[in-house]
Amino acid sequence: MTLTAASLIKTATGFYEAQALYAAVELGVFSKVADGPVPFERLRDDLGLHQNVAGDFLDALVAMRLLTRDASGYGPTAAASAYLTPGAPEYIGGFLALNQRRLYPAWGDLTSFLKTAANLAHGAKVDDPMPALYATPQRTRSFAEGMDGYATLLGRPISEKFDWSSVKSFADLGGCRGMLTTRIAAAHPHLEGVTFDLAPLNPLFDELVASTDLGTRVRFQAGSFFTDPLPETEVYVIGHVLHDWVESQRRQIIQRAYDHLPAGGALLIYDSMIDDQREESAFGLLMSLNMALLSGSSEYTIAQGEGWLREAGFQVDSPVALNELTTLLIGRKPQ
């Protein structure tokens, strides 16, 4: 793609669209229009918008393909109904809210960070970024709701792109409050699943599972994947976890997974991995900077991930694209 001055300006002002999206989620725009078109004046008043800016804001959401507009008022597009309406199966609003509260401010002084590599958000330390996230119940809930956004989107492709037919059980290591566990278990009624994560997430897991009919097939096991015994199961899933840690810790996690798996077991790793030439995956590279800002860690290339798997003893399948942002690696423990 050839860059022009106009495309550079669009990149430089990309935060306009991001903030408009964040504001729409925070204001509850999509829940207001979930049942059908709402007239302008009513929507403006329901949202508490000032009359001088309401029209531009709502019409900007139309131009962004988030709202529709006709003679009867404003309604949701298909994408907004699927991903931005609270209660929708693939709702990502919690992830967007986490971006607005935690990630957007962390990027506010990128220039200084690039000179010092020391501007870590919330005082997180490289050796353990988790305590700050779970310092209070509200922080724990906010983080879990943010992670739900990714898990809801990846549950379907992971359920479809890995062959679960001969598997009886699995565990999501670092699985937060269990959204991915419940998605995989719901897609495959023969499976039993475990969410393995730190104890503060257990009440949120129980809350989530209580809203499903999966209570007899999924459970929570509290623990650290560095020090505690891992669940006894056939498949481990590790997603958006390795990028929280430095390389020596990643190797340790993968090796412990290998050691705990039975012969013939599998380890599934997914992340926003970087292409091996480090020149195409703009999202992965920027996500790598994001992880450095937050916890002093990074993303990694596909080849690096494959190398850690082989080093631990796994046989490695070809990489699988879960979506345009996420790559899945599959390591199999020899029989």
Sorted by sequence, the CB contacts under 8 Å of residue 181 that are 6+ apart come out as 170, 172, 175, 193, 194, 195, 218
- DSSP letter at 104 equals H
Q: Are 76 and 163 contained in the same domain?
A: no
The answer to whether 166 and 175 are in contact (CB under 8 A) is no
Give me the residue label for tokens 């229009």.
Answer: 33
Q: Are 17 and 147 contained in the same domain?
A: no
- DSSP letter at 102 equals I
Quote the domain boundaries for residue 56: 1-124
Q: Are 88 and 165 contained in the same domain?
A: no
Q: What is the pLDDT of residue 103?
A: 87
Other CB atoms within 10 A of residue 189 CB? 8
Letter for the amino acid at 54? A
Q: Are 107 and 130 contained in the same domain?
A: no
Q: What is the pLDDT of residue 119?
A: 55
Residue ranges of the chain with per-residue pLDDT less than 70:
119-132
From the list 50, 190, 243, 260, the catalytic residue is: 243
Active site residue 243: yes
Cα–Cα distance list, 76 to 73, 86, 115 (Å) = 10, 12, 43
CATH number at residue 72: 1.10.10.10
How many domains in the chain? 2
Q: What is the pLDDT of residue 123?
A: 47
Q: Are 168 and 22 contained in the same domain?
A: no
Letter for the amino acid at 306? E
Length of the chain (residues): 335
Pairing relationship of beta strands 67-70 and 73-76 according to DSSP bridges:
antiparallel
* 261-301: pLDDT as tens digits: 999 999 999 999 999 999 999 999 999 999 999 888 999 99
User: d(Cα 186, Cα 192) in Å, to the nearest integer?
Assistant: 10
Q: Are 242 and 211 contained in the same domain?
A: yes
Angle at which helices 202-210 and 137-161 pack, to 10 degrees?
60
Specify whether the backbone of 124 is left (phi greater than 0), alpha (psi in -120 to 50) or beta: beta
Q: What is the pLDDT of residue 241?
A: 96
User: d(Cα 299, Cα 310) in Å, to the nearest integer?
Assistant: 18
Q: What is the pLDDT of residue 19?
A: 97
Secondary structure of residue 310 in the 3-state scheme: helix
Q: Are 29 and 80 contained in the same domain?
A: yes
Q: Are 13 and 64 contained in the same domain?
A: yes
Strand (E) or helix (H) holding 152: helix 137-161
CATH number at residue 141: 3.40.50.150
Q: What is the pLDDT of residue 129?
A: 55
